[in-house]
Amino acid sequence: MQVIRGIEKLEAKNTVITIGNFDGVHIGHQKIFDYLKRKASQINGKSVVITFHPHPIKVLFKEHPLRLITTTDDKLKLIEKCGVDITILIPFTREFAQIEAEDFVKDILVEKLNAKWVVVGYDYRFGRGRKGDRYLLKKLGLFYGFKVTVLKAYKSKGKILSSTAVRNALNDGNIKEANLFLGRAYHIDGDVIKGLGRGSTVLGYPTANIAPIQEIIPKEGVYAVKVTIPHLSKTFKGVANIGKNPTFNNVNMSYEVHIFDFKENLLGKTIRVHFIARLRDEKKFNSPDELKKNIAHDIEMAKKVFKQDRTRLFLDF
């Protein structure tokens, strides 16, 4: 996939285009990309995704507590896995936000990209003040000679598939629903940092403590996870704890994972943790021994989960 950053040197011909933030690249987005590719194939053209960085909300409403599902790098890799020909990553600024909807269509979609077909979602808005909508886009399509397809919302189990729905599921600890909407296991990446050492010395279950780079971390609790270690090109099973370790009266959040049958020191290495299932809430136990017994139980529960698990993983290493 060709990645074009910015619009200064933008040039393409015979394109079928979709536009959006595509945070998470969930199943709904993937269906849009499938439709995009089919239409591009029909006209012997190129499938083009236009997306933005930073997210427009982070530029226009800095006080908004929006947390993104995917990093920009992961978003681009996920779009590439969908088989799109070209992704255009437009730097979103307050100046860019002042472009009128009509000018965006004329200057970028028509003159720079020679759009033959534009595919958008049912709630798509664009241009200064979000004044552009699907009706204006269709009107401009008739004027400039490109077709417009407005896709309906995709639903799963009665819920509209959206990035907001994925965020809500993760914040609620509903990993099953989040993974269903994403079409893969949600993951976090991070470098392994030095922890307090209680996992190995006090509890007998050594853990890797992570400094995650993702903005969204699932709700505090214990999870069955799979752990990809890039420098080994291997994925292992494990259990992860997200929280403050209340048994030891900690006040700071920690993100740690115990990897089954693994002894290598990962300090300073980058790992990826894929969340498969939520096992339980984080809980304050009466003693380290009681916690140790519950960790053993968590591990057994996780092993049962893994026997039935068929969740796809995002592996790009």
Which residues are known catalytic residues? 256
Q: Is residue 82 within 8 Å of 30, Cβ to Cβ?
A: yes
What is the β-pairing status of strands 270-280 and 221-229?
A: antiparallel
Residue type, 140: L
Nearest alpha-carbon partner for 112 in 93, 86, 133, 138 = 86
Q: State the Cα–Cα distance between residues 273 and 257, nearest whole angstrom.
A: 8
Q: To which residue do tokens 């536009």 refer?
A: 19
Contacts 24+ apart (CB under 8 A), 78-81: 78/25, 78/314, 79/1, 79/22, 79/25, 79/33, 79/49, 79/51, 80/1
Q: Does an H or E element contain 251, and which?
A: none
| Alpha carbon distance 35, 83 (integer Å) | 11
> How far is the first Cα of the chain from the last one, in angstroms, to the nearest whole number?
17
Give the number of other CB atoms < 10 A from CB of residue 157: 8
